[in-house]
Amino acid sequence: MAKKILRALFFDIDDTVYSTTEFAQTARRNAVKAMVEAGLKMDEEQCLLELNEVISEFGSNYEHHFDKLLQRLPEEVWESASPVIVVTAGMVAYHQTKFRQFSAYEDAIAVLRELGKRNLVLGIITAGLEIKQAEKIVRLGLHKLVPPANIFITDSIGISKTNPKLYIRACRKVGVKPEESMYVGDNPAVDIDVPHRIGMRTVLSRRSGKYLNAVGEANPDHVVHNFYDLLELLDAEYELSGTRHD
């Protein structure tokens, strides 16, 4: 059977290149522990539940989660402490976790380095605030593996991942047709269903995260559990004929 032509490979970041969900859980737990040590009189598990509720209500991109947490707690749990110290302790612990533990899956970096040597265009399509997603890209070292012009962040483009125009824009920008490209992501609703509508090949990453058991409307072309699986299927089923970006 003849191999299928593939010229461009785009991938998601969160819970695809690194474990966003696992990192967030660890960072929030460390933040709560620090807040309790700074004088917050509350059980850590109960505090973590309340913090997760705040994040659910105000969104992960909200910048004052810890302030909101204190506002909604009974005054007696923090009245003997300094609120600003409690909040700052949480913030510092969260960012220290980021400095120590924020890293990509080793196989993801290894495979992306290998694919960078192949005849294939590499790109990123990711959802979120421009500065936050850019920080992730730099911390993970992805800006050294993917040409900056091939990085598409929803906030900076003004199109969400629920709109196929985002994927059309990315394909057009790198000079490929949707049917000559592939997208790798973890969320069936936006990483599979939406690019599938415009004819892109889709790969569902079943590795970690809150969408691990989610099901979309369209079946992905492939399912992988790590980036070595991805490399194997590319070698087995596709002829890579993109433009080198050395």
pLDDT at 11: 97
Please state, for a pLDDT cut of 90, what percent of the chain lies above it: 82
What is the tens place of the pLDDT at every residue in 10-42?
999 999 999 988 888 999 999 999 999 999 999
Name the band, by pLDDT with cuts 50, 70 and 90, for residue 135: very high
In this structure, which CATH number among 1.10.3720.10, 3.40.50.1000, 3.40.50.300, 3.30.70.20 belongs to the domain 4-18+103-240? 3.40.50.1000
pLDDT at 243: 57
| Residue 37 parent element (H or E) | helix 20-37
pTM beyond cutoff 0.95: no
- May I ask the CATH class of domain 22-101? mainly alpha
pLDDT at 7: 97
Burial of 152-179, coded b for 16+ CB within 10 Å and e otherwise, reads bbbbebebebeebebbbbbbeebebebe
Q: Is residue 92 scored above 50 in pLDDT? A: yes
Which SS3 state, helix, strand or coil, does residue 126 take?
Answer: strand
Which SS3 state, helix, strand or coil, does residue 232 take?
Answer: helix
What is the DSSP annotation of 112-125? HHHHTTSS-EEEEE
Q: Where in the chain is the domain with CATH 1.10.150.520?
A: 22-101
CA–CA separation, 125 and 183 (whole Å): 8
What is the tens place of the pLDDT at every residue in 165-190?
999 999 999 999 999 999 999 999 99
What Cα–Cα distance (Å) separates residue 225 from each residue in 155, 186, 232? 28, 10, 12
pLDDT at 60: 83
pLDDT at 101: 79
pLDDT at 79: 83
What is the tens place of the pLDDT at every residue in 193-230?
999 999 999 999 999 888 988 999 999 999 999 999 99
C-beta neighbour count of 108 within 10 angstroms: 25
Residue 16 near residue 186, CB atoms below 8 Å: yes
Q: Where in the chain is the domain with CATH 3.40.50.1000?
A: 4-18+103-240
pLDDT at 109: 96
Compute the mean pLDDT over every residue in the chain, rounded to the nearest whole number: 93
